[in-house]
Amino acid sequence: MKVLVTGGAGYIGSHTVVLLIEAGYEVVVFDNFSNASKESIRRVEAIVGKKIVVVEGDIRYREDLAKVFSSHKIDAVIHFAGLKAVGESVEQPLRYYDNNVNGSVVLCEVMSEYNCKSIIFSSSATVYGDPHTTPILEDFPLSATNPYGRSKLMVEEILRDVYLSDNEWKIVLLRYFNPVGAHASGTIGEDPNGLPNNLMPFISQTAVGKREYLSVFGNDYDTVDGTGVRDYIHVIDLAQGHLNALDRIRNFNEPMTINLGTGNGYSVLEMVEAFEKASAKKVPYKIVERRVGDIATCFADPSYAKEVLDWEATRGIDEMCEDTWRWQSQNPNGYII
């Protein structure tokens, strides 16, 4: 089975490509390298001991995609390609809608032309907005508070409409909670451009000495210690969720919407403590104002994933922090070598 992985050079994509190749899938990576380095592909090749087929192109450009589909018989697409920075999406909404929404539309059009109708889409827990309660189930009300989140909601809706128009489509919408961690080799991991947006890269860059301290966004939430609580999930567990979905996609008779989380919530300070333990480094922090748009608590009810994908996360926060630290300490400047 040949799988096209859009955004396959990125953080989650590169880890998923490792697992796909190890499981015997044929893989074509498609990426415009707007937020990835070619070094990540070389590292993946070193892990799997194989050359990877990479096509440099943009999902918004029909010709780029047509080139791939005309030269490879693609059976399914795992669609990671997208822009993901919430703050940036507020400043540049049109760029986000063009890249994430228009890009996904063009991808589906070209897939349809080449009669490839199986897609796994990277959605996000952000589509739940500020949930009325936790843990979060898939049928909770949906909302978005920024263009990034809205782009995910829109693509979910578009894919459901695509199915309604043509029931041959097989669609899996995976709503990720907070991906962290890295491959156990320490050779691939998350390499954010410039200032990280997410907690874990910020913690690890502080531990390695690249940043003076972590700003903790508020300690007056209604949580265990006042800091925000999230469901951190190891990127390898997350990647495995895609393989389980791919294995089963043919049997799904309607679009499937599935949370990928652990079901456990940890506060910012609990993550700091776990990271200090894993790295044997201090992570200095300062409590600052709440970040606009943040919610107090967000964690999944992952039981549907267990039921329909036979999937559950197996790696806990110690392993998440140890693997992040191995990647960060071996590659203090990420993929820049």
Which residues of this protein are in contact with ligand UDP, per CB under 6 A? 178, 197-199, 202, 214-217, 228, 230, 268, 291, 294, 298
Looking at the DSSP bridge assignments, the partners of residue 215 are 286
Least distance (Å) between residue 60 CB and ligand NAD = 5
Binding residues for ligand NAD restricted to 217-256, rule: CB under 6 A = none
Helix axes of 103-113 and 62-71: crossing angle, nearest 10 degrees: 30
Tell me which amino acid residue 15 is: H
260 binds ligand NAD (CB under 6 A): no
The 3-state DSSP class for residue 58 equals coil
With CB under 5 to 8 Å by kind, the binding choice for 34 among ligand UDP, ligand NAD, none is ligand NAD
With CB under 5 to 8 Å by kind, the binding choice for 84 among ligand UDP, ligand NAD, none is ligand NAD
Dist CA 151 CA 315 (whole Å): 30
Dist CA 9 CA 12 (whole Å): 8
DSSP 335: T
Active site residue 148: yes
List 54, 81, 153, 171, residue binding ligand NAD (CB under 6 A): 81
Please say whether the beta carbons of 168 and 112 come within 8 A: no
327 binds ligand NAD (CB under 6 A): no
Dist CA 324 CA 304 (whole Å): 28
Dist CA 42 CA 257 (whole Å): 33
Phi first, then psi, for residue 111 (nearest 5°) are: -55, -45
80 binds ligand NAD (CB under 6 A): yes
Please say whether the beta carbons of 63 and 41 come within 8 A: no
Least distance (Å) between residue 12 CB and ligand NAD = 4
Please say whether the beta carbons of 56 and 100 come within 8 A: no
Taking residue 106's Cβ as centre, other Cβ atoms within 10 Å add up to: 17
200 binds ligand NAD (CB under 6 A): no
Residue number of the CB atom closest to ligand NAD: 10
Least distance (Å) between residue 45 CB and ligand UDP = 29
Residues touching ligand NAD, count (CB under 6 A):
28
Helix or strand run (H / E) with residue 170: strand 170-176
Given the complex with ligand NAD, which of 138 and 287 has the nearer CB atom? Answer: 138
Residues 6+ apart with CB under 8 A from 286: 213, 214, 215, 216
Least distance (Å) between residue 325 CB and ligand NAD = 18
Site string for ligand NAD, 141-180 (x = CB under 6 A): -----------------------------------x--x-
Least distance (Å) between residue 196 CB and ligand UDP = 7
Least distance (Å) between residue 109 CB and ligand NAD = 14
Catalytic residue among 25, 97, 128, 148: 148
Please say whether the beta carbons of 309 and 258 come within 8 A: yes
103 binds ligand NAD (CB under 6 A): yes
34 binds ligand NAD (CB under 6 A): yes
The answer to whether the bond into 135 is cis (omega within 30° of 0) is: yes
Residues labelled catalytic? 148
Binding site for ligand NAD (CB under 6 A): 6-7, 9-13, 31-36, 58-60, 80-84, 99, 103, 122, 124, 176, 179, 198
